[in-house]
Amino acid sequence: MIATSLAGDYPLLDLFWTMAEIFLWILWIFLLVRVIDDIFRDDSLGGGAKAAWAIVVVLLPFLGIFIYLIVRGRGMGERSAKVAQKREEQFRSYVRDAADDGGASHADQLAKLAELRGRGDLTEQEYQQAKAKVLA
């Protein structure tokens, strides 16, 4: 039995072509997930419009994604920024509520605020406001 080398049967150019195909496949999956995520997070679309876009994207995968990006692509960034801003506001509100612990002493509250500021969870302005509230 003669051992054959896989490298001899698979030239370098074929390897590069296979890598390019895998990259494009992963890119397409990423775009598909991003577009479907945007479709279902968009509050301005009704249920029928969401269903229609989902059907177009799923049944006509490449063409559907390109059509969606052309028609609604600009709004994707704006909607994503709104979601990120809303999450940031919720996080900051949670941090402020956590820092406003009524049962702890003033020294404990100030220490907790200083720790939050040191980690970057509070801005200097938020720190000063919370500090004034604790000392009041």
The pLDDT score that the predictor gives to residue 19 is: 95
HSE toward the beta carbon, residue 39, CA cutoff 13 A: 24
**Which value, in Å, is the radius of gyration of the alpha carbons in the chain?**
26
pLDDT band at residue 75, thresholds of 50, 70 and 90? confident
Binning pLDDT at 50, 70 and 90, where does residue 52 land? Answer: very high
> Is the pLDDT score of 1 beyond 60?
no
d(CA 53, CA 39): 7
Domain presence at residue 103: no
DSSP state of 45: S
The reply to whether 48 falls in a domain is yes
Decide if 21 is inside a domain.
Answer: yes
**Domain-embedded: residue 106:** no
Residue 26: give the domain boundaries: 7-74
Domain presence at residue 69: yes
pLDDT higher than 70, residue 103: no
Whether residue 38 lies inside any domain: the answer is: yes
How many domains are there within the chain? 1
Q: Would you place residue 116 in the very low, low, confident or very high pLDDT band (cuts 50, 70, 90)?
A: confident
Residue 24 lies inside a defined structural domain of this protein: yes
Residue scoring higher pLDDT (34 or 106): 34
State the chain's mean pLDDT as an integer.
85
